Amino acid sequence: MASIFFSSSRRKILSCSRSPPFIFTLRRLHQPYNSLTESDIQVFSEILGHNPSLLLPASDPIVTAASTDWTGHYGPAPARLLLRPQTTAQVSALLRYCHERRLPIVPQGGKTGLVGGSVPTRAHQEIILQLQQMNQITALDPLMGIVTCQAGVVLQNLQDYCADQGWLVPLDLGAKGTCQIGGNLSTNAGGPYFRKYGSLAGNVLGLEVVLADGRILDYNYRQRNNLKDNTGYKWHQLFLGSEGTLGIITGVTLACAPLPRSKQAAFVACASYNQVLLVLQKARQYLGEILAAMESMDAAIWTLVEASGRHKMPLSAETLRSDSAVLEGGPFFLLIDTHGSNADHDQEKWQTFLEAVQNDILNGVLAQDMKQYQSFWQIRESANPTVAQLGYTYKYDVSLPIAQFQDWIQEMRLERLGPLGRTESSLVNANWGHILDGNLHFNVTTIGEREVQKDLVNALEPYVFHSILKRGGSISAEHGLGQAKNHLLPSVHNEITLDWMRSMKALLDPKMILNPGKFLPVSS
C-alpha cells in the first residue's frame, strides 16, 4: 500500500518491506493538490494583516525571480504565490489552512543551494514561503555563548552580531551574505569549519518548527536554552537537513564558540596527492588545536580562477607545473587556516609546521595580514562561481575516505566522455573540497554549454555514484538531495531505512504539502 504512495518507475526498489511497515494510514494518496482560489488568497491576506508586501501574486517579478534556481539547472516552474509571514503564529495559521486545503508549499531561504531544493517543481501550483521577515536575533547569553534567533536571519548578520560579543557562529559558507540560518539548518549546511567547530546539527540546542498542520513544536527554543539537556527524545534533529519536507523551521538556539582572536592562513602547493596527505598529517601534528580548515583546489580549478583575472594569485599553477616532480592532477593547492587566541603562539606553530613540510611542498605563501587572509579565502570561494560562469557544470558533492580522493578521480576516466562529441578543451574537470572532512567537490564543466546534456549525465552518473557507494562514500556530503539527488536514495539506504524515512514523512506531513518533489523519491 505504501508503495503506491511512493511509487515511481523504480517500483521494485521503492516498494515497502514486508515486515510490518511503519506507515499506519495514508490518506488522499491519489488526489492531486487543490488549485489556489481567490478565496484562499483572501484567507492568506487576512492572516498576514492585509499587508500587500507580504503576499505577492505570480505576476510580480519578485515571484518570477523566487521561482528561478540560480544555478539554472532546475525549472523554471513559476510559483502560484509568494507569502512572507512575519511571525510564527502567521506561519502556523498559513500552514494549518494549506494543510486543510491541501495546497503545496515551498519553503525558501536565501536560495543559494545547489540541488534545487528551494524552488517549485510544479509550475503554477506551488506557494513559496519566505521567512525573510522573521529576522530577529532575540537573545545572546554573553557568558555561555548561546544565541537565539529567527530562521530568516542572514548568516552573515548572525555572525557579525555574535562576533561583536566575542562569539563565533559555528558555520561559515561562501554564500553567508545571502543564505539564511533557517535554510542552513534545513539543509544541514557543512562548510570548511566542520571539523573544528562540529556539525551545525550538533550545535543546535533548541528549535522551533511549524508542522504541516500548523502545530508548533518547541524543542528548548523559547525556554531552556542550555548546553546540556537530557529530558526527551532528540526529535528536533529530524528536521535538520530534512529540506523543509517535515516541517518549517522558524527559530533556533545555537551554541557558539569563543571568537578566535588570531587567524592565519597560507596557500601551499604540492606536487602530488601523496604529499597533500603528508601535509595534512603534519598540519594536525604541528598546528594542532589551532588547525581550523584545510581546503584543496586542484590544478584545473586553480588555473581557471587564475585565468579569470579577478584575483591576485599568491602562486601560479603555470610556473609550478613545470616542476618535474608534479604528477598527474597536480600541482594541488591547499588553503590552510588556523584559529587561535595568541598570535605569537600561532605564528610559532606555523613556522614549525612550514619547516616540517618544506620537502613536501613545491611552494607556499603565508598571508601577511587580514586583508591577504581574506583574499586567500576569496580565491577558494570563487571556485564555484568560476565554473558556473564557464558553462553547465555537472556537480558532485561527495564524501570519501581522504586517502582515496585522487584514486577515485582517476577511476572516473573522464576520457570516456570524448566519444560523446566533446573535445578535450570543451570539457573541464575541476575539483576542490574540504579535505579535513573527507569532502570533495567533483565538477565537470562543459565550456560554453548552458543546458544539461542527457548523454553526459548518463555517461557520468552511473560511474560516479556507483563508485562512491562502492568505496563507502556519501553521494551527498553537504549539499543535500533536493530535486537533484532524491531519486538516488534507494541506492543509498536499505529498505528498512527508506521505510522508516517514509513513515516520518507520513506521520508529519500526511498530505504531502511540504516541499513536494524534494528529498524523498516521490512520484510526480
Q: Specify the stretch interacting with a copy of itself by CB under 8 A; choose among 5-13, 47-55, 68-76, 184-192.
A: 184-192
Q: Specify the stretch interacting with a copy of itself by CB under 8 A; choose among 121-129, 157-165, 186-194, 358-366.
A: 186-194
Strands in 302-358 per DSSP E: 332-340
Nearest to 97 by CA among 31, 46, 132, 150: 46
Nearest to 248 by CA among 478, 82, 92, 93: 92
427-434 and 439-447: which strand pairing? Answer: antiparallel
- The answer to whether 481 touches 516, Cβ cutoff 8 Å, is no
**How far is Cα 138 from Cα 359, in angstroms, rounded to an integer?**
51
Residues 256-285 that bind a copy of itself (CB under 8 A): 258, 260-261, 277, 280-281, 284-285
CA atoms within 13 A on the CB side of 72: 12
Residues 56-115 that bind a copy of itself (CB under 8 A): none
Identify which of residues 102 and 321 has a Cβ nearer to a copy of itself in the complex: 102
Identify which of residues 342 and 523 has a Cβ nearer to a copy of itself in the complex: 342
Q: Closest approach of Cβ 221 to a copy of itself, in Å? A: 11
Q: Closest approach of Cβ 370 to a copy of itself, in Å? A: 18
CA dist 199 to 187, 196, 202, 203, Å?
12, 9, 5, 7
Q: Specify the stretch interacting with a copy of itself by CB under 8 A; choose among 57-65, 253-261, 301-309, 316-324.
A: 253-261
The residue from 242, 264, 393, 445 that contacts a copy of itself (CB under 8 A) is 242
Beta bridge partners of 339: 263
Q: Does 27 bind a copy of itself (CB under 8 A)?
A: no
Integer Rg of the chain from CA: 24
Q: Closest approach of Cβ 136 to a copy of itself, in Å? A: 19
Residues across the chain:
524
Q: Quickly tell me which residue has 586567500 as its cell.
A: 376
Per-residue binding letters, 131-170, with a copy of itself (x by CB under 8 A) = ----------x-xx--------------------------
**How far is Cα 153 from Cα 178, in angstroms, rounded to an integer?**
10
Residue type, 74: Y
Q: Closest approach of Cβ 233 to a copy of itself, in Å? A: 5
Inter-axis angle of helices 383-390 and 370-381, nearest 10: 40
Nine-digit cell at 233?
527524545
Residues 312-341 that bind a copy of itself (CB under 8 A): 339-341
Nine-digit cell at 253?
538556539
Identify which of residues 395 and 422 has a Cβ nearer to a copy of itself in the complex: 395
Name the strand (E) or helix (H) holding 13. helix 11-14
Q: Determine the size of the site formed for a copy of itself (CB under 8 A).
A: 97
Beta bridge partners of 208: 218, 251
Identify which of residues 375 and 474 has a Cβ nearer to a copy of itself in the complex: 474
Q: Does 422 bind a copy of itself (CB under 8 A)?
A: no
Q: DSSP H helical segments within 418-472, as ranges?
A: 454-470
Q: Specify the stretch interacting with a copy of itself by CB under 8 A; choose among 48-56, 72-80, 223-231, 361-369.
A: 223-231
Q: Does 225 bind a copy of itself (CB under 8 A)?
A: yes
Residues 449-508 that bind a copy of itself (CB under 8 A): 469, 472-481, 485, 488-489, 492-494, 496-497, 500-501, 503-504, 507
Identify which of residues 74 and 302 has a Cβ nearer to a copy of itself in the complex: 74
Q: Closest approach of Cβ 308 to a copy of itself, in Å? A: 28
Nine-digit cell at 436?
579535513
The residue from 1, 4, 10, 24 that contacts a copy of itself (CB under 8 A) is 24
Q: Specify the stretch interacting with a copy of itself by CB under 8 A; choose among 125-133, 368-376, 412-420, 437-445.
A: 437-445
